[in-house]
Amino acid sequence: MGVIKIRQRQFCRWMSVGVLTCLLLLMLSVVIYRKTQKDYSWLVFGDDGTPEDSCNCDNIIVGDIEEIKHAKLLTITKVFKNQTKMTDEHYIELTQDCERFRVTRKYMPFTLSAEEEAFPLAYSIVVHHKVQNFERLLRSIYAPQNFYCIHVDKKASESTRAAINATVSCFDNVFIASQLEEVVYASWSRVQADINCMKDLYQISDRWKYFINLCGQDFPMKTNLEMVRALKGLHGGNSLETETMPSNKEYRWKKRHIVKNGDIHNTNEAKKPPPSGIKMFSGGAYIVVSRVFIRFVLEDPKAQELILWSKDTYSPDEFLWATMQRIPGVPGYIRAHHKFDRTDMNTISRLIKWVYHEGDFDAVYPPCQGTHVRSICVYGAGDLQWMLQQDHLFANKFDTDFDPIAIRCLEKHLRNKALQAWV
């Protein structure tokens, strides 16, 4: 409604209407604003009676030690865990009535600003379990003008697939990838899952401006409007980790790897050097890239050559995008000299706390307030204050089974912030 008020004032100036007419128009704005505010009050993440709301999220976000202790105590309580868990069957039942599902789960039914309407985003979300994590992620980033491709691992359980399919069916701009992969950790299949979504998203609309890939345990740190403005600030460039390849990772692409019995194995067979003399770089699986970068990935012969060469390597998601970003002529490319390297802390794509970079004073980031899985921090409520001071768009990892309060406080903070900007 803030947009309507501004437009009314602009109309008064542009049309040089009298003071009385201008006042009438502004009064009409207030009436419309109040009606809308009343009609859409259900969108606010208030105290909805959910068990997570027994904690004061405002206090947690400012780092209140006692409230964080309270949250930690709750998350280890068996009764609390049972109360906050939503089963796959619950999602299947709830989505039988899509309108009820969208309203009950508070999905944003309209675009909040003209600025966001003019700058749609495209998402790829790769999921294999934890439907509750996925659905809360989708709700937190959902906007009618955006596009969402969901890749469900072929190995996912039948109930997981059914619950995700049911959820997706309730939205016109959310869809399951046209081609699904059986994703094997550290193999090419992880990259192929994203490429499948890139193809679908590129074909489904020519309106979206930027592509962001996610996994089911990511969560946003910014509102959609904040993301749009951050992406505009890239001026057509990309934001992803890309660093000089360390020698201890060279085996990943210098040796041929194969998938056997659901695992990836090093054959110790030497691979040919990268095609076209391309210099290899190290990075991460998660990227924020422009539509023209995606077109390069899908259509450029040099990109296709590199993709084909990478298919029998180890963890190609951790060098493919980082390497493409340094190829001259690639949209938004960065020069290959090491002085232009970008670490994960110098991008906006993903905030991840690695256990070996945690500590006090001169460490990269403070100690994890949650737990660790494969050296990565699974965030707790105590991480939120620090997290929200960072520039990244998303953070990884979150887990509703471990700490649903961290997610609840973050989603409340972002929703209320988005609605405040709207009004």
* Average pLDDT of the residues in 338-343: 98
| pLDDT value of position 19 | 55
What pLDDT digit, counting tens, does each position of 226-277 carry?
999 999 999 999 999 999 999 999 999 999 999 999 999 999 999 999 999 9
The average pLDDT across 12-35 equals: 49
Annotate 2-26 with b (16+ C-beta within 10 A) or e (fewer). Answer: eebbeebeeebeeeeeeeeebeebe
CA distances from 28 to 10, 12, 20, 230, 265 (A): 15, 13, 12, 33, 68
* Burial state string for 114-144 with b = 16 or more CB within 10 A and e = fewer than 16: eebeebbbbbbbbbbebbbbbbbbbbbbbbb
Q: Any catalytic annotation for residue 318?
A: yes
CA 360 to chain centroid, in Å, comes to 28
| Residue ranges per structural domain of the chain | 88-343+414-423
**Which among 218, 222, 211 is positioned nearest to 124, based on CA atoms?**
211
Q: Identify the CATH number of the domain defined by range 88-343+414-423.
A: 3.90.550
Does the pLDDT value for residue 7 go beyond 80?
A: no
pTM, full prediction:
0.91
pLDDT of residue 39: 67
Catalytic residue among 116, 135, 243, 318: 318
pLDDT recorded at residue 205: 98
- pLDDT class of 24 with cuts at 50, 70, 90: low
Give 361's pLDDT tier (boundaries 50, 70, 90).
Answer: confident
pLDDT band (50, 70, 90) for residue 187? very high
pLDDT category at 23 given cuts 50, 70, 90 is low
pLDDT at 4 over 90: no
pLDDT (mean) for 31-47:
65
User: Which of 14-23, 95-104, 105-114 shows the lowest per-residue confidence on average (mean pLDDT)?
Assistant: 14-23
Rounded CA-CA distance 111/29 in Å is 18
